[in-house]
Amino acid sequence: MERLDRFELVALSKHLQTHELKNGALLLHRVHAADVAQLMPESSLTVLIPAYNEARVIGHTLESLWAQTRRPEKILVVDDGSSDDTGRIAAGLGVEVVRPLSNTGRKAGAMNFGLRFVETEWLVTLDADTALAPDALQQIVSAAQEQNAGAACGLVLPQRIRTVWERARFVEYLLAFGVIKPVQDWYRCPMVASGCFALYRTEMVKTLGGFPTETVSEDLDLTWRLYEAGESVKYVSGAICYPVEPPNLHFMRKQLARWSHGFAQNVRLHGRRILGVPMLRSFVIVATLDALLALLYLVMTPFLVVARGWHYLIAVYLTDLLLMAIPVLWMGFRLRLLSQAFASLPSVFVLRWLNVYYFWRAAVLEWVLGRPLRVFEKGH
């Protein structure tokens, strides 16, 4: 692939129009050369992208970066031993590509390899399958600077909303980033700066020893380490990213297993240190209790049917659906995704029970049997 000049790439590439979908996929629109002249000057910012066999998606991600209203000083792709054309495609799109001698085995390892090449004040970590809204970098950097935060995270929406699994995840994100995350942000304590798109002060990450490799959930681990170091994390609802979510059960199971084991590993790893961060302690307890209540409800469902009949269970589910629909539809309306939110609502019940299963499976394996998950598997 011919190496393109940065400004030629911006003018010729397609880019996201943040809130428009068609047939379940994000619409892409051309960025005109006249728009390029309005771009802000480059800032002290590096975007670090760990990539392993991401040839199918990395071009789309890089196009969204070149069309940002606030361009990064450097875009650095760590080609972590890919067997496909990931590195060649990235280099052809005008970014710096580095490659370790062998595959590091996990995302944190690839990011630590790339961290040695980062000298800017700010560092954005971005998954290779995650595109950004046009002003995402501008929004997240500005908010972090204003709040003097050590890190910041944005709003996450699925890049595609087609299958039942993508729709279920879409509803979960509307709930999480429309209700839960703003509450956590009020206390300056989001439980996690989502690994698909997060901003950090580079010096702080290096001071903490880089990206943690002790667990399969380095984003959760690093977020908690920041709190333990006295730093704050800012949630920026206007900084929107679009990752590729698991389209089927095969990949969803891998993602849920990694997330669940990552949570259990971090609770065990940080242990008593969590107690020293009051709001983080509260959010961890609430998340665990919520999973416990969901488990009890699942176990008691057959008894409810026998004791009260199917009509009672249907009434419970309809009430649950109504209570969930209010914030989901409101968030969908705000994002101009109301029809997609409405159509996706029933899908979340399919994913809910899988969440419960994998949470408690991981808890038993990690906390009771001492059988930790060590293999990092992608969820797409």
Which residues, listed in sequence order, are joined to residue 16 by a DSSP beta bridge?
28
pLDDT in tens, 334-374: 999 999 999 999 999 889 889 999 999 999 999 999 999 99
pLDDT band at 4 (very low <50, low <70, confident <90, very high): very low
Q: Does the pLDDT at position 27 exceed 70?
A: no
Count the Cβ atoms, other than its own, within 10 Å of residue 316: 14
The full DSSP string for 208-219 is TTSS--SSS-HH
Whole-number average pLDDT of the chain = 88
Average pLDDT over residues 266-293: 93
* pLDDT 10s digits, 200-240: 999 999 999 999 999 999 999 999 999 999 999 999 999 99
Look at residue 6 and tell me whether its pLDDT is greater than 80: no
For residues 377 and 251, the answer to whether their CB atoms sit within 8 Å is: no
**What pLDDT does residue 315 have?**
81
Question: What is the token pair recorded at 172?
Answer: 């979960």
Cβ burial 43-56 (10 Å sphere, 16+ → b, else e): bebbbbbbbbbbbe
Q: 338, 332 in Cβ contact below 8 A?
A: yes
Q: How many residues in the chain?
A: 380
The phi-psi region of residue 258 (left if phi > 0; otherwise alpha if psi is between -120 and 50; otherwise beta) is alpha
- Measured at the CA of 158, the angle between CA 4 and CA 192, to 5 degrees, comes to 100
Percentage of the chain beyond pLDDT 90 is 76
pLDDT at 38: 39
249 CB contacts (<8 Å, ≥6 apart)? 165
Judge contact between 72 and 45, C-beta under 8 A: yes
% of the chain at pLDDT higher than 70: 88
SS3 65: helix
Q: Which of 100, 193, 151, 171 is nearest to 326 (CA)?
A: 171
In the structure, what pLDDT confidence band is assigned to residue 16 with cuts at 50, 70 and 90? very low
Q: Which residue has the tokens 């950090």?
A: 200
pLDDT exceeds cutoff 90 at 283: yes
User: Residue 325: what pLDDT?
Assistant: 95
Q: What is the pLDDT of residues 303-314, one digit of tens each?
A: 877 888 888 778
